[in-house]
């Protein structure tokens, strides 16, 4: 229990997925198979019926201590977390020996549905054998308030590392096993039917210009869809939707699964799921929003309607088409899609037309209605056999704007002596509205100059954040603007980059908030 | 006239006309330990333990200090005073005051846990007990020294494997020395921030041994600090000094790290180590002194005072800001 609690604490404190993956793998290697089984169950937010409610647990804890409930309330003010307060306020016995993590979990599991007295006895006993973090995690488990500090994707990668298996196979088996009991890791095997696994996803190679393309007519040009890249698999018995990150999201899009069933058996299509509301193309974040919902309800299907944009046909009627050129695959795809002309779930990408590489301006005009910021060039003659084959991607030139610095934030750890983030504001009437947080590492002299300015002009300080007068003007670039209901400005920027500090810039001349909103309207239309 | 009054300037003993840990300039001051909220410049005359006297001389240039060893009684105008180990930081003391059979003890700050740098807390029987309660809430319960040492060592080993220096942050007086001495067999070189290093030297002059440690002054460049443990005050991590270290993992050591909300911030790790008594130690101490009149100050005074009253003590809360009323 102590080891799992330590893992939980460290996962909660580490921010990078890579560090989290390594921590989980280390834990799995050092723990018993039974402990691993329960650890994975909780880290994947597996279901566990609660033994007690939070209130019941607090009442039980108060019976174990010699102070009043008023003092408990004061402690609660300090932590803002009932589970933590309970775990900290109970007495600590020294030199204690607790049951193993799996024994405690198994005992808790067997007590589900038993009478309260038995549960109370069990919880009280466990409390006396645990300390701080371990007791905290235990409280979270028995009240079913445990939230995994790690994404399913990172957990899958850690399991793949630990079991030395392909992560897609792990992903598939985790998806298949949604039961209430934890899975035994040794039962994760390498022999799943390969027909249900996706093919290699072709990556896009970002190009700065079209100079490398000798003849543009050798390429199929299409816009990059603003959505989530997936492969649809119409299997013999089941249909699946795989993302490029190796997640199965079939249960998130039941309406699409019904449509996939109409495809010929053993067919695989590469494409992008996009969100369309009121016949308007919506940002990718809304597709992600549907994917992040724990349960897919009819309401979310209605509120966030999706559509699948087909890009490539990889398999048809159990015949792999990877050896064919893109041109031939695309023709077969066109024929296949004729049966789905009336379907609102399938969308076929229009081929963009450009006479020559100098015709680039016309391409940006063609993709604008699709909210797209890039064009994908697919070689017509190349087959998909080569796994190193990449499609070429040409991004639209970024937009540039100026904004004024309203707040600066100091970094943490080794960066505690530097400003690492600047909150930028746009002019709105006579005031400035925060529009974005710009990550910037100023060079030595510039940093010293900024530090001096902050020291001399500080308005207010909130921990590591310093409020300064709106005088310093920065130029930044961004790919696109999206609507945002969570921000005061009503907009959010994508792919933001710092360009320069305009030291002689006048705050009165920066880009107006209204100008950004006008641009947003352009995108939506 | 009560033996001790609580005034705007601090604990006042009218019969002896002296103050204990005064908050303002007074003619005579008795100092419990060298932290800045207990020892201040500008008083006419000081009384302290020899180690505390050296510390306040080093930190605040206070030289007019008369020193007395622990348990050595001294008299001021018929009132008998003596210092007794408080276990808080090097040289820290409780002050026992006796006059006409009435005994008061003012603890200053104290802890009961083992600390190799200072003498362990001594229970002094008294009638009136003035206790601090910085962590006077039941959620503050410290882990054993062994467990904490193991945590620090594991973190250091992990950093060594990743070729990152281990920067451990704590107060330059007290925590820094305790952290250094907690690890019995250091697994790498120990470096100290100049403030910590100089404080160590002052303490070492009083015969307290330290592990071998070197000064890391931020100017001198070292080839490899990746295997080392560096002890520094918390503010140092944000200073230019930290840039001389290269890649490092910062960790903080404080009792406030007990709650999860306080564990966020500039450190990779948060060790729960305090130089103050925890909840069980505070209650244990109150019981052991045998005092019936308890005065609680510094920290969660309302919570701790209320609990002592529930336990049947005559407990009063002393606000941090002083008033004229006697306690």
% of chain A at pLDDT higher than 90? 32
Query: Is residue A444 less than 8 Å (CB to CB) from chain B?
Result: no
- pTM exceeds cut of 0.80: no
Q: Which residue of A has its CA nearest to B145?
A: A94
**Domain boundaries for CATH 3.40.50 within chain B:** 145-271
Does residue A523 register a pLDDT over 60? no
Per-residue pLDDT tens over the stretch A411-433? 876 677 789 999 999 998 888 99
B263, A133 Cβ separation under 8 angstroms: no
Closest CB to A414: pick one of B240, B242, B280.
B242
Residues of B with CB under 8 A from a CB of A: 137-141, 143-144, 237-240, 242-243, 247-250, 258-261, 263, 265-269, 272, 280, 300, 302-303, 306-307, 310
Main-chain phi, psi angles of A205, to 5 degrees: -90, 120
**Spatial distance between the Cα atoms of B174 and B88, rounded to a whole number of angstroms:** 7
B304, B316 Cβ separation under 8 angstroms: no
Residue A254 CB neighbour total at 10 angstroms: 12
Test A13 with B263 for CB contact under 8 angstroms: yes
Closest CB to B139: pick one of A85, A412, A417.
A85
**What pLDDT, on a 0 to 100 scale, did the predictor assign at position B142?**
93
A368, A388 Cβ separation under 8 angstroms: no
Per-residue pLDDT tens over the stretch A104-148? 888 888 888 888 888 899 998 888 888 878 899 999 999 989 999
A residues 75-104 closer than 8 Å to B (CB): 75, 78-81, 84-85, 88-89, 91-92, 94
**Domain boundaries for CATH 3.60.15.10 within chain B:** 5-139+276-317
Q: Which residues contact A242 (CB under 8 A, 6 or more apart)?
A: A168, A197, A198, A230, A231, A233, A248, A249
Mutate to test the interface with A, among B134, B259, B260 (most CBs of A within 10 A): B260
Does residue B235 register a pLDDT over 80? yes
Test A416 with B238 for CB contact under 8 angstroms: yes
Q: Which residue of A has its CA nearest to B164?
A: A414
Closest CB to B268: pick one of A70, A80, A413.
A413
Burial of A267 per CB tally in 10 Å (0-12, 13-18, 19+): buried
What is the CATH number that goes with domain B145-271?
A: 3.40.50
Task: Classify each residue of A122-147 as buried b or exposed e, where b means 16 or more C-beta atoms within 10 Å of its C-beta.
Answer: bbeebbebbbbbbbbbbbbbbbeebe
Q: Which residue of A has its CA nearest to B251?
A: A413
User: In chain B, which residues have their Cβ closer than 8 Å to the Cβ of A133?
Assistant: none
Test B306 with A68 for CB contact under 8 angstroms: yes
Per-residue pLDDT tens over the stretch A322-362? 889 888 999 999 898 888 888 888 888 777 776 666 677 77
Half-sphere exposure of B186 (CA within 13 A, CB side): 17
Query: How is domain B5-139+276-317 classified at the CATH fold level?
Result: Metallo-beta-lactamase; Chain A (3.60.15)
Tokens representing residue A232 in the block = 């649809």
Comparing A178-182, A260-264, B103-107, B309-313, the range with the smallest average pLDDT is A178-182
Q: Which residue of B has its CA nearest to A448?
A: B240
What is the average pLDDT across A393-408? 90
What is the average pLDDT across A247-254? 89
Alpha helices for A31-131 (secondary structure H): 33-43, 54-64, 69-79, 82-89, 101-110, 116-129
Closest CB to B261: pick one of A80, A92, A417.
A80
Query: Is residue A16 less than 8 Å (CB to CB) from chain B?
Result: no
Q: Which residue of B has its CA nearest to A463?
A: B265
Nearest-CA distance from B236 to chain A in Å?
A: 10
Query: Is residue A410 less than 8 Å (CB to CB) from chain B?
Result: yes
Domains of chain A by range and CATH?
2-142 (no CATH), 204-395 (3.30.470.30), 399-524 (2.40.50.140)
Closest CB to B266: pick one of A68, A91, A412.
A412
Does residue B323 register a pLDDT over 80? no
What is the average pLDDT across A190-219? 76
**What pLDDT, on a 0 to 100 scale, did the predictor assign at position A88?**
92
Does residue A313 register a pLDDT over 80? yes
CA A361 distance to own-chain centroid: 33
Query: Is residue A67 less than 8 Å (CB to CB) from chain B?
Result: yes
Mutate to test the interface with A, among B137, B166, B230, B282 (most CBs of A within 10 A): B137
| Residues in a beta bridge with B293 | B128, B314
User: In chain B, which residues have their Cβ closer than 8 Å to the Cβ of A65?
Assistant: 138
| Element of type H or E holding A98 | none
Q: Which residue of A has its CA nearest to B137?
A: A75
Comparing A271-275, A353-357, A397-401, A479-483, the range with the smallest average pLDDT is A353-357
What is the layout of strands, in order, in the sheet containing B45-48?
A: B5-7, B10-13, B18-20, B28-30, B45-48, B65-67
| Element of type H or E holding A428 | strand A419-428
Closest CB to A74: pick one of B137, B237, B267.
B137
């Amino acid at each position: 229990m102590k080891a799992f609690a330590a893992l939980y604490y460290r996962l909660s404190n580490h921010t990078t997925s890579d560090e989290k993956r390594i921590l989980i793998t280390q834990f799995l290697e050092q723990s018993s198979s039974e402990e691993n089984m329960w650890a994975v169950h909780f880290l994947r937010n597996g279901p566990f019926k609660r033994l007690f409610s939070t209130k019941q647990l607090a009442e039980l804890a108060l019976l174990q201590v010699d102070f009043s409930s008023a003092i408990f309330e004061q402690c609660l003010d300090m932590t803002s977390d009932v589970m933590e307060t309970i775990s900290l306020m109970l007495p600590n016995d020294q030199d204690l020996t607790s049951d193993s993590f799996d024994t405690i979990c198994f005992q808790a599991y067997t007590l589900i549905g038993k009478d309260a007295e038995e549960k109370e006895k069990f919880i009280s006993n466990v409390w006396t054998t645990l300390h701080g973090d371990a007791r905290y995690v235990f409280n979270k488990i028995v009240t079913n308030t445990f939230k995994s500090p790690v994404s399913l994707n990172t957990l899958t990668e850690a399991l793949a590392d630990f079991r030395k298996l392909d992560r897609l196979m792990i992903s598939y088996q985790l998806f298949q096993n949604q039961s209430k009991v934890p899975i035994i890791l040794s039962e994760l095997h390498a022999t799943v039917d390969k027909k249900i696994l996706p093919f290699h996803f072709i990556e896009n190679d970002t190009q700065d210009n079209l100079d490398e393309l000798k003849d543009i007519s050798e390429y199929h040009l299409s816009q990059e869809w603003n959505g989530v890249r997936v492969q649809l698999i119409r299997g013999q018995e089941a249909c699946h939707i795989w993302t490029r990150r190796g997640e199965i999201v079939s249960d998130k899009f039941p309406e699409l699964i019904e449509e996939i069933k109409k495809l010929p058996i053993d067919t695989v299509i590469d494409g992008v799921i996009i969100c369309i509301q009121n016949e308007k193309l919506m940002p990718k974040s809304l597709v992600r929003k549907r994917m992040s919902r724990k349960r897919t309800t009819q309401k979310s299907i209605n509120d966030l309607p999706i559509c699948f944009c087909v890009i490539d046909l990889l398999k048809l009627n159990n015949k792999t088409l990877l050896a064919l050129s893109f041109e031939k695959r695309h023709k077969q795809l066109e024929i296949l899609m004729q049966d789905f002309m009336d379907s609102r779930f399938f969308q076929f990408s229009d081929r963009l037309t450009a006479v020559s590489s100098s015709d680039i301006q016309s391409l940006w005009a063609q993709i604008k209605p699709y909210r797209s910021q890039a064009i994908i060039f697919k070689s017509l003659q190349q087959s998909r056999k080569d796994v190193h084959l990449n499609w070429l991607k040409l991004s639209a030139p970024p937009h540039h704007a100026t904004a004024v610095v309203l707040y600066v934030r100091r970094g943490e750890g080794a960066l505690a002596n530097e400003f690492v983030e600047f909150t930028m504001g746009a002019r709105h009437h006579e005031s400035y509205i925060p529009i974005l947080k710009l990550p910037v590492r100023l060079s030595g002299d510039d940093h010293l100059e900024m530090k001096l300015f902050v020291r001399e002009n500080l308005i207010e300080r909130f921990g590591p954040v310093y409020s300064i007068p709106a005088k310093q003007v920065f130029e930044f670039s961004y790919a696109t603007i999206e609507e945002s209901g969570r921000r005061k400005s009503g907009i959010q920027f994508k792919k933001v980059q710092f360009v320069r500090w305009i030291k002689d810039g006048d705050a009165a001349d920066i880009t107006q908030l209204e100008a950004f909103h006008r641009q947003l309207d352009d995108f939506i239309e | 006239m009560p033996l001790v009054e609580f005034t705007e300037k601090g604990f006042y003993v009218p019969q002896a006309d002296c103050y204990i840990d005064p908050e303002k300039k007074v003619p005579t001051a008795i100092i419990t330990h060298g932290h800045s909220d207990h020892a201040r410049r500008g008083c006419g005359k000081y009384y302290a333990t020899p180690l505390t006297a050296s510390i306040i001389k080093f930190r605040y240039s206070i030289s007019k200090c008369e020193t007395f060893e622990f348990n050595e009684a001294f008299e001021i105008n018929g009132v008998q005073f003596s210092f007794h180990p408080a276990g808080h930081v090097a040289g820290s003391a409780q002050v026992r005051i006796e006059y006409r059979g009435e005994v008061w003890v003012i603890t200053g700050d104290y802890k009961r846990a083992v600390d190799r740098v200072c003498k362990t807390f001594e229970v002094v029987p008294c009638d009136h007990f003035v206790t601090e309660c910085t962590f006077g809430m039941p959620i503050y319960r410290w882990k054993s020294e062994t467990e904490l040492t193991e945590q620090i060592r594991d973190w250091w080993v992990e950093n060594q494997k990743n070729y990152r220096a281990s920067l451990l942050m704590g107060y330059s007086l007290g925590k820094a020395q305790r952290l250094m001495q907690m690890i019995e067999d250091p697994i790498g070189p120990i470096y100290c921030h100049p403030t910590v290093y100089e404080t160590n030297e002052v303490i070492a002059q009083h015969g307290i041994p330290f592990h071998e440690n070197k000064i890391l002054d931020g100017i001198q460049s070292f080839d490899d600090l990746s295997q080392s443990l560096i002890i520094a005050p918390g503010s140092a991590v944000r200073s230019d000094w930290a840039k001389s270290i290269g890649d490092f993992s910062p960790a903080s050591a404080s009792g406030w790290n007990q709650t999860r909300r306080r564990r966020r911030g500039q450190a990779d790790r948060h060790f729960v180590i305090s130089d103050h008594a925890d909840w069980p130690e505070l209650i244990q101490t109150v019981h052991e002194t045998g005092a019936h009149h308890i005065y609680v100050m510094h920290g969660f005074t309302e919570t701790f005072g209320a609990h002592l009253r529930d336990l049947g003590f005559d407990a009063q809360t002393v606000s941090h800001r002083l008033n004229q009323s006697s306690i």
